[in-house]
Structures are given as C-alpha cells and as structure tokens.
C-alpha cells in the first residue's frame, strides 16, 4: 500500500512539474544579449488570457534599487524600474510554446517594442524577441527559468 501511495505521489509531482514547464508563468532570470550579463529577475503572470511581466529584483550590483525610467514616454515615466511592468499583452498562439502580440519595454532606453516569447529546452529557457514592425527586425534575449 505504501509503495502505491509513493508511486502516485511521484507521478503527481512529475505531472505538476511537467505542466509548469509548458507555460512561461513563473520567475525568469534575464540575460543581456549584448553583454551576456545577468540583469534582473522578471515574474511572468497570466490574467484574462494575457501575460504580463514585472521586474522583481536587479541582479547587477551596479544598478541602484531606486533607479527610475526617465526615458519612458508613457505612464511609467519617472517611476521606479524595480516593480515595473515591462511585459504586457502577450497571448497564446496556435503553437503551444509561443505567445505573441504583446509589448516589452526596455526601461534603460525607454523604448517599447512588439514582443514574442517562445519556450525552449522543455520550458527551462525562454526566447524573448523584441522587434519593430516585423519579428525579422529585432533582437532576441534568452531568459532562464528560476522557478
């Protein structure tokens, strides 16, 4: 009886882990595509079928915790970057590993780009593509799943 209970618990845990890896919801470590340095932790959440992402922590010790988005041109102008929503409006596509149609803010430059994210390596990594016009005209960062 104990062996059956243990086997069921192991299967249930594995099932939860597998499903958690098939969604971008969770905590992600961002890596700067130009310098290769760790920049921040971003929490991606889902509400009403759309994904949002908020900066939870800076990883670069040179970044001051009270830095603001002085270059932003929308309602985020002058607001603290820590706790700021930088990812908005991504929706699931027909591809189970891709979300599209949203936008991402580069708070260092104040620029807003169209965005697309794709889970890779079984959900352990996420490709964040920011672009203007078409996805061909953009940059991709690879984020690492923390939780």
pLDDT tens, position by position, 10-39: 444 444 444 446 899 999 999 988 888 999
Q: Which residue range is the domain that position 134 belongs to?
A: 24-145
> Which pLDDT band holds residue 49 (cuts at 50, 70, 90)?
very high
Q: Is residue 106 included in any domain, yes or no? A: yes
Q: Is residue 112 included in any domain, yes or no? A: yes
* Residue 80's CATH number: 2.40.128.520
Count of the separate structural domains present in the chain: 1
- % of residues, the chain, pLDDT over 70: 86
Helices in the chain by DSSP H: which ranges?
Answer: 2-20
Alpha carbon distance, N-terminus to C-terminus of the chain: 33
Q: Is residue 16 included in any domain, yes or no? A: no
């Amino acid at each position: 009886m104990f062996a059956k209970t243990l086997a069921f618990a192991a299967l249930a845990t594995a099932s939860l882990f597998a499903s958690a890896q098939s969604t971008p919801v969770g905590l992600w470590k961002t890596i700067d595509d130009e310098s290769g340095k760790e920049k921040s932790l971003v929490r991606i959440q889902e509400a009403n079928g759309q994904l949002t992402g908020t900066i939870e922590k800076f990883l670069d010790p040179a970044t001051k915790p009270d830095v603001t988005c002085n270059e932003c041109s929308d309602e985020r102008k002058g607001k603290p970057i820590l706790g700021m929503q930088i990812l908005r409006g991504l929706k699931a596509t027909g591809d189970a590993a891709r979300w599209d149609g949203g936008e991402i803010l580069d708070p260092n430059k104040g620029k807003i780009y169209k965005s697309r994210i794709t889970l890779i390596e079984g959900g352990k990594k996420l490709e964040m593509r920011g672009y203007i016009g078409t996805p061909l005209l953009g940059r991709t960062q690879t984020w690492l799943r923390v939780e």
